[in-house]
Structure 1
Amino acid sequence: MSKKVKVRPDFSPFLVHFTKNEEPVGKQDPKDPIGDRAKKSALDRLISILSEKKIIASTMPWTNCHCVCFTECPWASLIDHTRSYSPYGIGFSKQFIFSRNGSPVYYVRADQYEKQEWHEHLKCFVTPFWPSYRPKSIDEKKSFKTCDYTHEREWRVPHDFSFEYNQIEFIILDKYEDMAKFPKELKDSIGRDKFLLMDNYKIIEKLWPVHNLGI
């Protein structure tokens, strides 16, 4: 990792792909490459990703492009983020993801979104921005539901994302039981020191509640 990257509490040099226990938002697309994988649990999806050394790009809402999504999730907001997705994820460095054609998404106001003819490649990185605090006067002119994912600081890769085990920065699991039952061959290949348990983090936050996460 570059030594020029500053370490700050509100900034992370890592990006995480979290798996989910539900079908992706683009499930209406019959050509969604994720296919039957969407029927698996979040833990099983993570195991499949690690076994295949690949994250399959899925269909994005609004653009129907196929991408792999990551979040820049600072340590202080990790618990809250796992509530929206799941406590199962895989982390990489920004440097590695950028080298695989990844970049931050463009959060574009909904009333500006349709004014732009997006290049096919750029469409993969666009998501509408229409926050709940928008003025009612603007809302009357533009019929669009609330859409605000800016807290995720999302990055995307516009294709399947392949990797090797030595390129993984960390794996997030929920409990010790997950670690105990996790496939031994994966733990041996990846390295047990790369596994983080959310239960441990929750205990630390209960004992030293510096982030006020309401655990």
Structure 2
Amino acid sequence: MTYTNKLWEERVWARSDMSLYVTHLTRGRKEEDKSPLDVLFEILKDKKIKGSTNSGYVSGSDPAVCFQDAPLSGIAQNIRHEVINHEKLGGKERYTAIGLMFNKPLVFAKGGRPVIYETKEFAKILPSDERWRMVTLDFSSKDNIVDWTHEREWRVKGDFKFNYKNALVILPNVDTYREFIERAKGDVLKQIQGIVNLNAVIS
């Protein structure tokens, strides 16, 4: 039997732990006095998510855009984990409940792939221009476990360009939704696939 797109969608719909979409979450830039919502509007204006480098936890010589392959409930749980464990995770804001979702086949067509979870030692044997897809996974020390597999990360090498019609906006609550509506330009509101209030998903 041929495994068609329809059958794939039906299989995902039947699972509470899977999604047809991957999600990119933003963070603020305090050095520029920009909030996560400001960054989202920059992304929407440019129709492009700029690839992160070492400062965004991407190894090697090439930048990459990061996505999470999880349903909205899982995305919300990952965000909560970041908030609760902010200090334990080094006090650095990695992402917030503001971002964009894209259909998985679209991201795949643009070069997006699941990351490879491996040790730092394994990554060192790869050429520098191949390390953008590597994320550290290490259980060798019980006192210093490194495990990001809960994010089920995908990455796209370089920047990720998109059209509004392919984008779903994620916002954390009603107040942010209202601010987004007030600030959004006409083309954005008319053409995006929709807006998700994440608070309603997890309430």
Shared fold per TM-score greater than 0.5:
yes
Q: Map 1:30-45; keep pairs closer than 5 Å.
A: 40-45=34-39
Tell me, in whole angstroms, the C-alpha distance in 1 between the residues paired with 2:61 and 2:138: 19
List alignment gaps of at least 5 residues for structure 1: 24-35, 140-144, 204-215
Distance 1:11 1:201, change over 3 A: closer
Tell me, in whole angstroms, the C-alpha distance in 1 between the residues paired with 2:67 and 2:198: 18
2:162 aligned with 1:163? yes
| Counterpart position of 2:148 | 149
| Counterpart position of 2:52 | 58
Contact 2:60–2:130, Cα closer than 8 Å, also in 1: no
| Counterpart position of 1:189 | 190
Once the two structures are superposed, what CA deviation does each residue of 1:119-145 show, in whole Å capped at 9, x if it has no partner? 3442111122113xx356xx8xxxxx5
Once the two structures are superposed, what CA deviation does each residue of 1:189-213 show, in whole Å capped at 9, x if it has no partner? 334x61011222233xxxxxxxxxx
What amino acid is aligned across from residue 70 of structure 1 in structure 2? F
What amino acid is aligned across from residue 189 of structure 2 in structure 1? D
Larger Rg: 1
2:24 aligned to which of 10, 17, 23? 17
User: Displacement of 1:2 after TM fit?
Assistant: 2.2
Distance 1:163 1:3, change over 3 A: same
Tell me, in whole angstroms, the C-alpha distance in 2 between the residues paired with 1:75 and 1:188: 21
* Greater percentage in helix: 2
Once the two structures are superposed, what CA deviation does each residue of 1:159-178 show, in whole Å capped at 9, x if it has no partner? 1111001111x211112222
Tell me, in whole angstroms, the C-alpha distance in 2 between the residues paired with 1:4 and 1:188: 31
Tell me, in whole angstroms, the C-alpha distance in 2 between the residues paired with 1:181 and 1:76: 23
Once the two structures are superposed, what CA deviation does each residue of 1:43-101 show, in whole Å capped at 9, x if it has no partner? 11111111111001110334253010000122332222223221101000110011111
2:116 aligned with 1:106? yes
| Counterpart position of 1:175 | 173
Partner of 1:148, secondary structure, is: coil
What amino acid is aligned across from residue 155 of structure 2 in structure 1? R
Contact 2:20–2:104, Cα closer than 8 Å, also in 1: yes
2:13 aligned with 1:3? no
2:103 aligned with 1:78? no
| Counterpart position of 1:125 | 133
TM-score (normalizing by structure 1) = 0.72
User: Displacement of 1:21 after TM fit?
Assistant: 3.2
| Counterpart position of 1:30 | none
TM-score (normalizing by structure 2) = 0.76
- Report the number of matched residues: 177
Contact 2:60–2:128, Cα closer than 8 Å, also in 1: no
